[in-house]
Chains A and B, each alone.
Chain A
Amino acid sequence: MADLHFLANPARFRRFSQRVTGSLAFATVLALAVGLYLALIAAPPDYQQGETVRIMFVHVPSAWLAMAGYGLLAVLSGSLLVWRHPLAALMARGAAPVGATFAAVCLITGALWGRPMWGTYWVWDARLTSMLLLFFLYLGHIALSNAYDHAERGDRAAALLALIGAINLPVIKFSVDWWNTLHQPASVMKLGGPAIHPTILVPLLWMAGALSLLFVILVLLRTETEIDRRRLEAADATA
């Protein structure tokens, strides 16, 4: 694997990021076009859910990305607290609102699916509650990052929260196996292979890939902004 250590330096990261965002944006648009076509037009209706199954093509990737985003936040927080990584705090600030948005999309699309399928928008079962907690953990991270006059102190406080909150990730994943829930158990990432027919699974994976690209590009752009902001603040302080 290529050595990515050179990206630790914010200035070099910024140059790298600016070089790749163009082609990344192109790939995102292309993948989203294919994914949406497969999900909304090509995919067949489900034998029980009918057309409502199409909500899943946004709901499931959003849930994955909200969790992956929090995992990223935890890794960044660890490297900030232990190695004082200069880029980690800036990228955490860039990533948190993106992850929060995907968590919100997951919760909203889930409610819209739940009403016709389950007969309710919301129940307090272990899966739904732990996912709502993830959303609040993101909001807490954003609030805590900005709660101090010194940005660095906010970075550290928020990093601690991100690491503590990471305990919620396995709880979300395994909530459907550990406890009785209204939410169905895992369909894709489970032992014995996916319980989804390929005609529905392939569009789902395309959407997951396309939204992952969107996630990456949003985090890169937001991180660049945070680097610029930190520089301007430093310039202001010395002026």
Chain B
Amino acid sequence: MMASKRMSPKRRRLWLLVGSLSVLGVAAALVLTALDDSLVFFYSPTQVAEKKPGPERRFRLGGLVETGSVKRSADSQEVYFRITDLKGTIDVTYRGLLPDLFREGQGVIAEGSLTSAGLFIAREVLAKHDENYMPPEVAKALKDAGRWKEGEAKK
């Protein structure tokens, strides 16, 4: 059938479509790779240490709330804690309401800026939920057996 030099119209349309979609796919992949930096929603403490954003530059910082690091001011309006990615750590201060899921060992994303002293002043704190779903009894059993700790599951 394909012995003749001219392709059938259906054949031609199929190859035209496959060809243009592959070009489009490659273009999209290149654009997304180029925009990589602005597509990330937050930076980890390690990335912040590499990029060194200047003071007053707003960005989002994400990681785990270090266990044992949460302290409240005397009037309990201000919260201090440390955000860690288990390699780097940054001190954070925040004034305002915290989401329900905020707790030690839990993933959070804070938006704000660094002071010249390296303290992160958060204007907004969001809790990050991980991909694990289970009933409370199962979580408790896992913890009792020492097989799993909150926050240590993974990033």
State the A residues within 8 Å of B (CB).
44-49, 53, 56, 78, 81-83, 116-120, 123-126, 163-164, 167, 171, 178-182, 184-187, 190, 195-197, 199-201
Contacts and interface: CB of A to CB of B under 8 A. Distances in A.
B2 interface: no
Question: What 9 pairs across the A-B complex have the smallest Cβ distances?
Answer: A119-B99, A44-B135, A47-B139, A197-B134, A125-B41, A187-B131, A196-B133, A47-B136, A180-B40
Interface string B134-145: 111111100000
Contacts of A180: 40-44, 62
Interface of B: 10, 13-14, 17, 21, 24-25, 28, 32, 36, 39-44, 62, 97-102, 109, 124-140
B130 A184 contact: yes
A82 B124 CA distance: 51
Contact of B134 (A82, A186, A196): A196
Nearest to A119: B99
Nearest to B140: A47
A197 B134 CA distance: 5
Nearest to B139: A47
Contacts of A83: 10
A47 B138 contact: yes
Nearest to A185: B131
B42 A118 contact: no
9 contacts: A46-B134, A48-B139, A49-B133, A117-B99, A117-B129, A118-B126, A119-B97, A182-B128, A197-B135
A171 B139 CA distance: 32
Contact of A82 (B14, B126, B127): B14
Contacts of A195: 131-133
B65 to A, nearest CB: 14
A195 B133 CA distance: 7
A187 to B, nearest CB: 4
